[in-house]
Chain A
Amino acid sequence: QKEVEQNSGPLSVPEGAIASLNCTYSDRVSQSFFWYRQYSGKSPELIMSIYSNGDKEDGRFTAQLNKASQYVSLLIRDSQPSDSATYLCAVKTRYGNKLVFGAGTILRVKS
């Protein structure tokens, strides 16, 4: 079992719809969870971080964390073509400063 798993996609949504990206992790005592966006040929940039169970909202983005079920999700409301990218889920494990990344989900927003 991979430590951090994401559906590779591509996930296709129409412009204006809600895009829902999911991530599961194996280390039950993980504390920190991050979503990065990566455009083709570019480096990852941080979108959201979440540390407590529940929802955290930032503009059109909402991160959701459920530690009991060991999943974290990212919702993008009013999706725009500029949101088309690969979204990486990252989890900080109990082992020091390491982040473990999922392989990423490709999102395509069609206008």
Chain B
Amino acid sequence: DVKVTQSSRYLVKRTGEKVFLECVQDMDHENMFWYRQDPGLGLRLIYFSYDVKMKEKGDIPEGYSVSREKKERFSLILESASTNQTSMYLCASSLMDGYQETQYFGPGTRLLVL
């Protein structure tokens, strides 16, 4: 079974803090993704990576950065947290498998920025 883990289930941070969200997968997947999920808006892609040290902007990258130093680990960084970044953050990974590629999700991190 694919296992994607995220470092925290719940986080409370203050405005202006630098926030690190960690994601680790154990299935040697090339692709990793960070989404945020908000009521009524569904999942929105923040960043993704298809290889170590590679990253691509998703649909809403502003205010975020990412790091992928090892294949199994993909970090999301909020450089200066703001209240509008309060959300559920979901990490996913997938094999590079053409159009049949399937994404598997971690348990999510619910972030509250005060």
User: Looking at chain A, what size class is its interface with the partner chain?
Assistant: 20 to 34
The answer, among B42, B56, B102, for a CB contact under 8 Å with A101, is B42
Query: Which partner residue on chain B sits nearest A94 by CB separation?
Result: B99
Instruction: List residues of B whose CB falls within 8 A of some A CB.
Output: 31, 40-45, 48, 50, 56, 58, 90, 94, 96, 99-108
- Top 7 nearest A-B pairs (CB, nearest first) are A103-B42, A43-B105, A101-B43, A31-B99, A32-B99, A43-B108, A101-B42
Pairwise interchain contact B48-A98, C-beta atoms closer than 8 A: yes
Contact yes or no, B105 A45, CB < 8 A: yes
Given A32-B101, A51-B99, A98-B48, A43 contacting B42 (CB threshold 8 A): no
Bound state CA distance, A88 and B94, in angstroms? 18
8 additional A-B pairs beyond A99-B45, A103-B41, beta carbons within 8 Å, are: A42-B107, A46-B103, A46-B104, A88-B43, A97-B48, A97-B50, A98-B48, A99-B103
Report yes or no: B102 in contact with A46, Cβ–Cβ below 8 A.
Answer: yes
Q: What residues make up the interface of A, taking CB atoms closer than 8 Å to B?
A: 8, 31-32, 34, 36, 42-46, 49, 51, 88, 90, 92, 96-99, 101-104
Contact of A42 with B108 in the complex, beta carbons under 8 Å: yes
State how many angstroms separate the Cβ of B46 from the closest Cβ of chain A: 12
